[in-house]
Structure 1
Amino acid sequence: MEIGLIRVDSRLIHGQVITKWLNYSKANVIVVVDDELSKDSFMSEIYKASAPNGIIVEILSIDDFMKNTGTHKYSNKRLLILLKNIETVYELYLRQFKMEHIQLGGLPSGVGKKAIYKAIFLNEEEINKLRDIANSGVYIDMQVIPEDTKSDLMKMIK
């Protein structure tokens, strides 16, 4: 299994992911890890239908994703892993899923959240979770589209 990109973006599969990030990551499998969406067969089918021909899309719970990574299911596959929120990426971190790089994309504003970078809003709890992940050696950057310059999260939140 190769990881082309781990992206945290509340929109999951959308136009920029299909037209830009899929090519950038050189992935042949999109894996959406989201407990709620994995239980919604209607919305899952909509997301799957949005992928180009030849691209496999899986929508999995955290448990199922972790089970799959412990097998040979993704042998000879290059993955674009999409996560809706910081809580999911933090849960993967707690379960010791090996990550070297995490990219933050669109994360919406809300009560208690502040703008960190363009369309990325985080609250203190999310920042602390990301700080824990970064302190373990994972590089976390922010990049809305590939043409944007990457911004190092840890430098932005100091």
Structure 2
Amino acid sequence: MIKVIRVDHRLLHGQVIFSWTKFANIERVIVIDTATANDDFKKMSLKLAKPEDVRLNVFSVDKAISKIDQIKALKDNIMLLFENVAELSKFIAAYGSVDEINYGLIPSKPNAKRFSNAIYLTPEEVKLTKEMCDKGIKISMQQVPSANKELLNNII
């Protein structure tokens, strides 16, 4: 069962490892990022960083889409972790209905608009986020579970 869907360009790092996995009792993290899936060093680093009791899968977005039925059938408490909004949007379009997505850290880049201390979206990312909002998905901005949750839907 998918418990958390998060976009964080750092992927598996301290906040995810110590806060989110404990908060949501995560048993499996599925990183969906094409660049990482094609980089053996990054994959090895993620395997070393993950908590010992948490399973890890790393897939390109296309591979994850091909495994949607298998992902849906998993009994584990799952966190889907994306590096960027574009691959998140592509996966969600194929996956179907989800209730909420957490935007954790999306760094500043050229032409990006600031939505919080940690969320900067380009015009394309704003467009993709609005499309997900229009499907009824709540997009929350929250660094750690104990922090105040802001809905991006209300300000985008």
Tell me the TM-score normalized by structure 2. 0.94
**Is 1:144 aligned with 2:119?**
no
Cα 1:73–1:87 change in 2 (3 A) is: closer
1:120 is aligned to: 119
Letter in 1 for 2:109: G
Percent identical pairs in the alignment equals 27
Give the 3-state SS of the residue equivalent to 1:119 in structure 2: coil
Aligned AA for 1:106? L
Q: 1:5 to 1:72 in 2, by over 3 A?
A: closer
Query: What is the alpha-carbon distance in structure 1 between the residues aligned to residue 3 and residue 88 of structure 2?
Result: 16
CA contact (8 A) 2:65 2:95 kept: no
Question: d(CA) in 2 for partners of 1:88 and 1:97?
Answer: 14
Deviation of 1:97 after TM superposition, in Å, equals 3.6
Go from structure 1 to structure 2 and tell me whether the alpha carbon gap of 1:73 and 1:96 turns closer, same or farther (over 3 Å shift): closer
CA deviations on 1:31-90 (whole Å, 9 max, x unpaired) are 000111101111101111101112111110112212222137852111111000110111
The correspondence of residues 1-158 of structure 1 with structure 2, limited to 5 A, is 2-71=1-70, 74-157=73-156
What's the Cα RMSD here? 1.5
Q: Secondary structure at the match of 1:21?
A: helix
Q: Tell me how far 1:104 sits from its aligned partner.
A: 0.2
Give the unaligned 5+ runs of structure 1: none
Asked whether the 8 Å contact 2:68–2:95 carries over to 1, the reply is no
Shift of 1:96: 3.8
Q: Tell me the TM-score normalised to structure 1 length.
A: 0.92
Runs of 4+ in 1 over 3 A off after TM superposition: none
Structure 2: tracts of 5 or more residues without a match: none
Give SS of 1:105's match.
Answer: strand
Contact 2:64 2:91 in 1 (8 A): no
Q: Is the contact made by 2:36 and 2:43 (CA closer than 8 Å) also made in structure 1? A: yes
Aligned residue pairs, count: 156
Say if 1:143 and 1:76 are closer, same or farther in 2 by CA, change over 3 A.
same
Task: Output one character per residue of 1:110-158: Cα deviation in whole Å (capped at 9) or x when no partner.
Answer: 100121011111122211111111111111110011111110102122x
